Chains A and B, each alone.
Chain A
């Protein structure tokens, strides 16, 4: 599959995501934030960073970009979409994912390797996290619904939830399961030399529709 990685002014991890997608898929390219056309890609990554300086609120301005309009349409049609860190914030702001990301409970940016537990399989992944606003939050009844629908994709392992996310949630999907938001950075876990290769598994599972809620929809293309 061919991945497209959105590039906003202020994106930081777009080249890392490009590299990870090249390793995972059959190709990858950057998609400029002003482009309304996703250029025929099969999956999209909304990368980490500080889009538009994170002014106003993290992700609040990026959601209005032409490229995000295109992503919203593609997501509606079932295309796999991965939002990492700031990308997760953008997808929440855009209403493509439930919940919100608040400032870390310790009110400090923190960069460290964390362990994630994959829901369903129980696999443990070692992936770095780095953010100042990564505390996942949603109202109780929404959390109950997310859990009932199988929309919680990743949780922090015991002792690894340093940002104070509710119910240790690190990643969620939309109802259909083709849009995934994840606070830690799978694109920074694709090379044994820099720490781990567990991140490739996230791209792989999203790409082959492993999160897609079978009861609700058909598998995405690609």
Chain B
């Protein structure tokens, strides 16, 4: 005997959620309404397991122009200009179809940015895959990198930075987080709230097809598992040429003041755009699906309402200006159709040729989804695997080379050279030239720096401290180029929040994020949450990807990470206390376990201030944040980048309780490796650890002292370059 599953369950709603919908409507929903509710009440759209936690985050600050709730956050950069930014995940689509998944991730995040009237000027991406010896991971990496390049390059927005980590727990469920930075005259920016009863709703851009139906609920809000191939039709297909025209068209319309408000169509398509616009404006909306230009003639109203066809925007326009708007759309060869009106009364009504086919209160649809409390419980120990790839007792030289060639540490030139990193003429520091991307803003008379970071392995060891470290890492990267943080955005990539361990990771990570932001005084201006990142073998490493934007007065003063001059002194600034816990070396030895040392956050922030001031004053020849692989790897990276060796000694770290091995390869926040004039470094309070020069990278560390040739180190660090 088979029992038929109710349709609402197939669409991802629980029994009690369905009952609540019936209560709010006063009747059973029809197919159109059920489809719309199932999407807006999905985890992806409603944040039902994370919204309560996110209230902990600080969101206010003097420089905040737009905060959470808008399509993207924005901060003031002076002279009447603002910088908008947002990061968003496209994990599950990329795990199913990496090229289109990553491409449409980039397309979607750019629409979020130009929806508020900012011209996209840069893209960054944060990627996670399984280990590179897996065929699946190589396939996903190759597809995702080509997809990001395809979309960004074709639309003419520079991809200026990012990071890629390779770890076993991402084998089944890769992460593709894309970030877009936009630049706008503050006065030209626009919000997403619909306003003005009687105003027209105009749909612009591509026509609507059956692609991506149910993407938010079916793909993004459930664990991956067997049969994912069959989900390929839920992955959207991107067309950067359509987006390029739509982008120019929208910016021209906004520049001419022709739009009352603007919203992109992303997850859940017209349903979420129309719903969110109405909710934000406290109005109702009528949409007649007969007016929507279709790719296939026989689409049902519910399909039109939930289609995730790409490259579409929804605008509110005063009735008298619709013709002007449509003329500009025609100039840019992009579609436009008047599909509805703003109404009084707070109902969203779906019509077909004037006949009502669905009607529900906006409040119930957009804000009615119940929010859940988590049921966190700390796991008993390390819930992920350990794989030994480096034999115990290896010589220190061998350890250094093994770390430099580790895919997560090695040069990512192979990937970033597939991206146009210079279009727009703003890129002052290209990928791997400095710890943060630097973009000049001649219009505002200054520059911004951007960093994106999130080491999932360390967060898995300690969700709270690991997340604090991710925020500090971003702040340190900004300090390396002389930038002061203005705002932060994030993408919280976690496993199933309904499982106690997943809930515990999420809960602690959000607390760490909140505390670190408060300590730094940096507001969170937006964010995105991606849950249910699990495969058959278990959850991903908890991965809060943190992205920070900072400001610097003079891009000409930006230092790089490369050693520059023979004879320069090398110094260490900051409260760096290395430990092998959660380190790349511990990973390679198969010795990962729970726990990270507690860092001195205030001292790390003070060190950022010292470095920032020194960079701005042009006092340093090079500056590089000590990160993955520890001090020895940081030294080798600065040497390789500069094409010049060094003679260093890290034994003084014994004073901070570090054994020689920890001094070389231990990790932890708060360390800056700098080079420059000896007296200047002493003035800055740096601990002097060596001298730049020669062809060898020699590092004294007691019985673990090592020396490798520059060429050998570079060859290891270039392990990902094509032969």
Complex Cα–Cα for A61 and B422 (A): 26
Complex Cα–Cα for A130 and B430 (A): 14
> Would you call B245 and A9 a contact (CB within 8 A)?
yes
Chain B positions 8 through 37: 1 when the CB is less than 8 Å from some CB of chain A, otherwise 0:
000000000000000000000000000000
> Would you call B244 and A19 a contact (CB within 8 A)?
no
- Closest chain A residue, CB of each to CB of B239: A53
- Closest chain B residue, CB of each to CB of A187: B425
- Closest chain B residue, CB of each to CB of A16: B425
Contact of A9 with B332 at beta-carbon distance under 8 Å, contacts A111-B417, A193-B428, A193-B555 already known: yes
Closest CB of chain B to A30's CB: distance in Å?
Answer: 12
Q: Does B154 contact A (CB under 8 A)?
A: yes
Chain A residues in 8 Å Cβ range of B150: 109
Complex Cα–Cα for A50 and B422 (A): 16
Chain B residues in 8 Å Cβ range of A121: none
> Would you call A188 and B422 a contact (CB within 8 A)?
yes
Complex Cα–Cα for A109 and B421 (A): 12
Closest CB of chain A to B144's CB: distance in Å?
Answer: 14
Complex Cα–Cα for A159 and B358 (A): 64
Chain B residues in 8 Å Cβ range of A194: 422, 425-428, 440
Contact of A130 with B241 at beta-carbon distance under 8 Å, contacts A12-B423, A188-B425 already known: no
Q: Does B418 contact A (CB under 8 A)?
A: yes
Which of B239, B244, B420 meets A9, CB within 8 Å? B244
Interface residues of B in 125-159 (CB under 8 A from A): 146, 149-150, 153-156
Q: Does B240 contact A (CB under 8 A)?
A: yes
Which of A10, A49, A111 meets B422, CB within 8 Å? A111
Q: Does A165 contact B (CB under 8 A)?
A: no
Complex Cα–Cα for A167 and B128 (A): 40
Interface residues of B in 413-451 (CB under 8 A from A): 416-428, 430, 440
> Would you call B241 and A191 a contact (CB within 8 A)?
no
Chain A residues in 8 Å Cβ range of B420: 12, 109, 111, 130
A interface secondary structure, majority: mixed
Chain B positions 147 through 179: 1 when the CB is less than 8 Å from some CB of chain A, otherwise 0:
001100111100000000000000000000000
Q: Does B392 contact A (CB under 8 A)?
A: no
> Would you call A193 and B556 a contact (CB within 8 A)?
yes
Complex Cα–Cα for A109 and B149 (A): 8
Chain A residues in 8 Å Cβ range of B241: 9-10, 50, 52-55
Which of B156, B332, B426, B556 meets A12, CB within 8 Å? B156
Complex Cα–Cα for A140 and B414 (A): 33
Q: Does B333 contact A (CB under 8 A)?
A: yes
> Would you call A130 and B422 a contact (CB within 8 A)?
yes
Interface residues of B in 203-255 (CB under 8 A from A): 239-242, 244-245, 248
Chain B residues in 8 Å Cβ range of A103: none
> Would you call B424 and A16 a contact (CB within 8 A)?
yes
Q: Does A78 contact B (CB under 8 A)?
A: no
Chain B residues in 8 Å Cβ range of A13: 156, 423
Interface residues of A in 170-222 (CB under 8 A from B): 185, 187-188, 190-191, 193-195
Complex Cα–Cα for A50 and B239 (A): 12
Interface residues of B in 261-316 (CB under 8 A from A): none
> Would you call B427 and A50 a contact (CB within 8 A)?
no
> Would you call B154 and A111 a contact (CB within 8 A)?
no
Chain A residues in 8 Å Cβ range of B333: 9
Chain A residues in 8 Å Cβ range of B244: 9-10, 12, 50, 53
Q: Does A106 contact B (CB under 8 A)?
A: yes
Which of B239, B418, B427 meets A110, CB within 8 Å? B418
Complex Cα–Cα for A109 and B428 (A): 21
- Closest chain B residue, CB of each to CB of A13: B423
Interface residues of B in 42-96 (CB under 8 A from A): none
Chain B residues in 8 Å Cβ range of A106: 722
Chain A residues in 8 Å Cβ range of B240: 50, 53
Chain B residues in 8 Å Cβ range of A111: 153, 416-422
Complex Cα–Cα for A194 and B245 (A): 27
Chain B residues in 8 Å Cβ range of A193: 428, 440, 555-556
Contact of A112 with B555 at beta-carbon distance under 8 Å, contacts A16-B424, A53-B241 already known: no
Q: Does A11 contact B (CB under 8 A)?
A: yes
Chain B residues in 8 Å Cβ range of A16: 423-425
Q: Does A108 contact B (CB under 8 A)?
A: yes
Chain A residues in 8 Å Cβ range of B422: 111, 128, 130, 185, 188, 194-195
**Which of A19, A55, A130, A188 neighbours the largest number of chain B CB atoms within 10 Å of its CB?**
A130
Chain A residues in 8 Å Cβ range of B426: 194
Closest CB of chain A to B117's CB: distance in Å?
Answer: 17
Complex Cα–Cα for A95 and B457 (A): 56
Closest CB of chain A to B677's CB: distance in Å?
Answer: 23
Chain A residues in 8 Å Cβ range of B248: 9
Chain A residues in 8 Å Cβ range of B424: 15-16
- Closest chain A residue, CB of each to CB of B416: A111
> Would you call B154 and A50 a contact (CB within 8 A)?
yes
Complex Cα–Cα for A53 and B248 (A): 14
**Which of A10, A16, A191 neighbours the largest number of chain B CB atoms within 10 Å of its CB?**
A10
> Would you call B153 and A130 a contact (CB within 8 A)?
yes
Chain B residues in 8 Å Cβ range of A128: 422
Chain B residues in 8 Å Cβ range of A49: 156
Complex Cα–Cα for A111 and B415 (A): 10
Contact of A191 with B425 at beta-carbon distance under 8 Å, contacts A109-B153, A111-B419, A130-B153 already known: yes
Chain A residues in 8 Å Cβ range of B427: 194
- Closest chain A residue, CB of each to CB of B425: A16
Chain A residues in 8 Å Cβ range of B425: 15-16, 19, 187-188, 190-191, 194
Closest CB of chain B to A71's CB: distance in Å?
Answer: 20
Complex Cα–Cα for A109 and B242 (A): 20
Closest CB of chain B to A183's CB: distance in Å?
Answer: 14
**Which of B332, B333, B430 neighbours the largest number of chain A CB atoms within 10 Å of its CB?**
B430
Q: Which residues of A contact B (CB under 8 A)?
A: 9-13, 15-16, 19, 49-50, 52-55, 106, 108-112, 128, 130, 132, 185, 187-188, 190-191, 193-195
- Given A9-B333, A106-B722, A195-B422, list of 20 further CB < 8 A pairs? A9-B241, A10-B154, A12-B153, A12-B155, A12-B244, A12-B420, A15-B425, A16-B425, A50-B153, A50-B156, A53-B240, A109-B150, A109-B153, A109-B420, A111-B153, A130-B422, A190-B425, A193-B428, A194-B426, A194-B427
10 A-B residue pairs with Cβ-Cβ distance under 8 Å, sorted by A, are A12-B156, A13-B423, A50-B153, A50-B240, A53-B244, A109-B153, A111-B417, A193-B556, A194-B428, A195-B422
Identify the 5 closest CB pairs spanning chains A and B, nearest first. A12-B156, A53-B241, A50-B154, A16-B425, A130-B420
